[in-house]
Chain A
Amino acid sequence: MNYLNLLKVAIKAIASNKFRSFLSMLGIIIGVAAVIIMMAIGQGSKESVRQNISQMGTNLLMVRPGADMRGGVRQDPSAMQTLKQEDYDAIVQNKKYVTYVSPEVSAGGQVIYGANNTTTTVYGESIEYFDIKQWDVELGDSFSDEDIRKAAKVCVVGKTIIDELMPNVSEPIGKTIRFKSIPLRIVGVLKSKGFNSWGMDQDNVIIAPYTTVMKRILAQTYFSGINCSSITEELTDNAIDELTDILRQRHKIKDGEEDDFTIRSQQEIMETMSSTMDSITIILVVAAAFSLIVAGIGIMNIMLVSVTERTKEIGLRMSVGARGIDISSQFLIESIMISVTGGVLGILLGWLGTVLCANFGLPVSIPLWSIFLSFAVCTLIGILFGFFPAKKAATMDPIEAIRYE
């Protein structure tokens, strides 16, 4: 029998048992929809995390103290005092693959203006910080080299600070706020960045010259880190090598000894996050895939019923000349049709579910390949779970089958 006829026979068989066929499709529909939605959420979150990380800066390289062992005890990196002004100067003087450099120190605490107060973090940075972060000063200006040299009591503030402290002030530039009793004059207001994907308000910051924060607020001589930008994304590895060389030389670390700092690149963070998201996605998809296997068993069950029910028809077909392969392909095509139709409906349902998720604010994006994959998996399920019933039908004895009541 040719495939067109087999297809017609299968459609007829399914159509004559609409409700039953639909019920056995339901498993596939739900399974496929679940896989599609899970993949869409996985992909969507991955993309949103990526976007967030790329907001952290351009080709960002973060140098942090750490990896120091003293007598076999690994030290807390934040307690390390190894990154100093001299390191920063050495990087600035010797950089080839690195464009912008900004040391970083930070202090958290209360900031006051008039009768208002709020809790925030003051970051001490160099001017190049704004280039690294690609953060524009919307109002006023950033501080100057002069301010850094003099450890001037000036700052650039995020939008939230203005909203919290001076809701009724029309001209914040020139106003002085107090952070831990240190007065800081506002010279600029940063463009709003909004919340990041971890729910942190990125505008709740005060940026001041690093010298000011180090000397006047914290009274310390070391940095909590140094942020850099590599020239291009491709040169990230060269930039890391360069920074490593400079710092090892500065810290007089012998060959074979461990670095007393760590350098993490934005790409690396992105990859780590991606792989985390990937493994979560895989777990979700595997769970959904199990439901597809259960659905396949459902199809097998219904096909076995169908084969038994149509024993007489099988006997008749055999007696008029159907070979085993004709019979088995007839039932195989039927089960493939059930699972593929279920798959198509499942893709539609998954798409609808994804749209719904998007409405609830979940980041979603259906990867195109997940649709092809679902389709392929459904066909495979149809073949796999249709095989046994089809074989059972094909190996029937025509003499017994035709007399079956």
Chain B
Amino acid sequence: MEEKKVVIELDNVRRDFKVGEETVHALRGVTFKIYEGEFVTIMGSSGSGKSTLLNQLGCLDTPTSGEYYLDGIPVRKMKKNERALLRNRKIGFVFQNYNLLPKTTAVENVELPLMYNSRYSARERKEAAIEALKAVGLGDRLYHKSNQMSGGQMQRVAIARALVNNPTIILADEATGNLDTRTSYEMLVLFQKLFKEGRTIIFVTHNPEIARYSSRNITLRDGKIREDVINTDIQSAAEALAALPVNQDD
């Protein structure tokens, strides 16, 4: 682990919100490092500061104090537009409710992050999108529109969209939350595949089961890290999927 590159470093990150007269301390000094190629699950019940942490990691928000380094770049004092650029180049988001553009084809959805990157020509954009869709197993559904796809397919498109800009980290927010058990395992199989390919994945969830399939688990409680453990016995999601009763869905 020591020789691995640090992609995320949080140094005593605090985030306070003013709610009326009171100050809510959502994060009360969080410090950790995430190395390249890790599959980290971040757990916590609601109110633990999980969402706030996710917003920090995704550069959607900045710490009140402390510092967050993404790929060595300090984020706290960045302006909005600089953070937008950082998100565009270094982060791939996967959301719980997929967030695909309606009435838009899979390819066009996946192209979206590259639309905001002037280095890509229209042709390169399309090629990259097709490649990403093939990587998530949707090579045969390139031109299906988002409303013609199942939940699992939509989430695959969303994952392809997160991959297309070749990001430093993939940030998944309850990415299996809206899916049935079988499809959830399918997604985990996909995430494990990406993990094996060397991608850095941060998976925020409240479902403790998922921790069994990641390489490391961070548990939050009341805005602090309660537990940070390396998983030495990573379960195979593919095996779990195979073990599921077949009649569960048609």
Binding site for B on A (CB under 8 A): 1-2, 5, 12, 16, 312-313, 315-326, 398-399, 402
Contact = CB atoms under 8 A, between A and B. Distances in A.
A26 B202 CA distance: 50
Contact of B80 (A16, A313, A324, A402): A324
B60 interface: yes
Interface string B97-116: 00101111000000011011
Nearest 3 CB-CB pairings of A with B: A321-B88, A320-B113, A321-B116
B112 A319 contact: no
22 contacts: A12-B104, A315-B99, A316-B101, A316-B112, A317-B116, A318-B84, A319-B60, A319-B87, A319-B93, A320-B113, A320-B161, A320-B165, A321-B88, A322-B116, A323-B80, A324-B80, A324-B84, A325-B81, A326-B116, A399-B55, A399-B60, A402-B99
A238 to B, nearest CB: 68
B60 A398 contact: yes
Contacts of B85: 321, 323
Given A5-B115, A319-B93, A323-B85, 17 more contacts: A16-B102, A16-B103, A315-B99, A316-B95, A316-B99, A317-B116, A319-B60, A320-B93, A320-B116, A321-B116, A321-B117, A325-B81, A398-B60, A399-B55, A399-B61, A402-B95, A402-B99
B113 A321 contact: yes
A2 B115 CA distance: 8
A16 B81 CA distance: 29
Please classify how large the interface on chain B is, using the bins under 10, 10 to 19, 20 to 34, 35 or more.
Answer: 20 to 34
B150 interface: no
B63 interface: no
B81 A320 contact: no
A325 B88 CA distance: 15
Contacts of B37: none
A23 B95 CA distance: 35
Contacts of B118: 2
A231 B84 CA distance: 76
Contacts of B101: 313, 316
B60 A324 contact: no
A1 B113 CA distance: 10
Contacts of B117: 321
Contact of B81 (A323, A399, A402): A323
